[in-house]
Amino acid sequence: MSTARSTGAPRGDADIARVAALFADRSRARVLIALSDGRRLPASVLAAEAGVSAAAMSAHLNKLRAESLIAVEQSGRHRYYSIAGPKVAATLEALAAIAPAQPVTSLRQGTRAQRLREARTCYDHLAGALGVEVTQALIDRGALVATDGVPDTARRPGDRLSAPVREHPYRLGPAAAEVLRDLGVDLPALLAGTSGGTRPVLRFCLDWTEQRHHLAGALGAALSGALFDAGWIARRRAPREVELTAAGAVAIEEVLGIHPAAND
């Protein structure tokens, strides 16, 4: 028979239904999706994204904040909302993997779905086909080394669909500092800055569209930030959508030896 810890009250099973109910509302789901690329957005933008009134959005945001799914930051007279962290983003990715696809009734819907498959953000790191391709190139170039003898981003036995990889089979390789420097990431500074921190340098997710690993963690965030800063990738108007620029296609081919096509 289990006993409660002496430092706190007894705790039962996780109340999944309580949190799941927040994801079940279409308007709140749109809010979370809009924030899942790590941006901070005001309530007015979120209301437009969800297609609801300002009063209705206020009620939705209060519910999401009450369960710690989003955070808010005051800047002058304005309040900006953001997703609470990578765990919430990972939950959205997992739900997307098991949720039925919405019917595509227009060319616009179809092309957006394709763009999300090609390149998108997963919280603050790069995902989709481009994210997986870049991760594989880091392995091929010796910036990452597979510790299980499989030099590939393929799904491993036990990997959960669309979820952070619990036991990631990679470590930094001998060429990590050089390759990442050419991509705009100062690896020594990153390692020094994350020393003793709560976020691991290396983490990987099983991409929900590609079903292969993509780089996450502090290094994944630093890499995507560097690519944005260099103008090699850019945000589209829709949430999470990312486009590879013409300059980025050339630069990534030079550094990583891969040939991703730039978006039109």
What digits encode the pLDDT tens for the residues 205-260? 888 778 899 999 999 999 999 999 999 999 987 777 899 999 999 999 999 999 87
Segment holding 83, helix H or strand E: strand 78-83
pLDDT score, position 161? 67
Separation between Cα atoms, residue 217 and residue 140, nearest integer Å:
20
pLDDT at 244: 93
| 224, 190 contact by CB (below 8 A) | no
Residue 2's pLDDT band (cuts 50, 70, 90): very low
Give the predicted TM-score (pTM) of the model.
0.65
Tell me what pLDDT residue 236 has: 86
pLDDT at 263: 62
Q: What is the pLDDT of residue 157?
A: 86
Record: fold of 16-84: Arc Repressor Mutant, subunit A (1.10.10)
Confidence of residue 186 (pLDDT cuts 50, 70, 90): very high
Burial class (CB in 10 A: 0-12, 13-18, 19+), 243: middle
pLDDT of residue 13: 74
pLDDT band for position 264 (50/70/90)? Answer: low
pLDDT for residue 188: 95
DSSP string, 186-238: -HHHHHHHHTT-SS-S-EEEE-TTT-BEEEEHHHHHHHHHHHHHHTSEEE-SS
Closest by alpha carbon to 164, among 84, 242, 86, 221?
A: 86
Residue 163 and residue 203 in contact, taking contact as beta carbons nearer than 8 Å: no
- Which pLDDT value is given to residue 245? 94
Kindly report, residue by residue over 66-92, the tens digit of the pLDDT: 999 999 988 777 788 988 988 888 888
Residue 106 confidence (pLDDT): 43
Instruction: Give the mean pLDDT of the chain.
Output: 84
Q: C-alpha angle 97/87/195, rounded to 5°? A: 135
Give the domain ranges of the chain: 16-84, 111-256
The per-residue pLDDT for range 26-59, each reduced to its tens digit, is 889 888 888 887 777 888 878 877 888 989 999 9
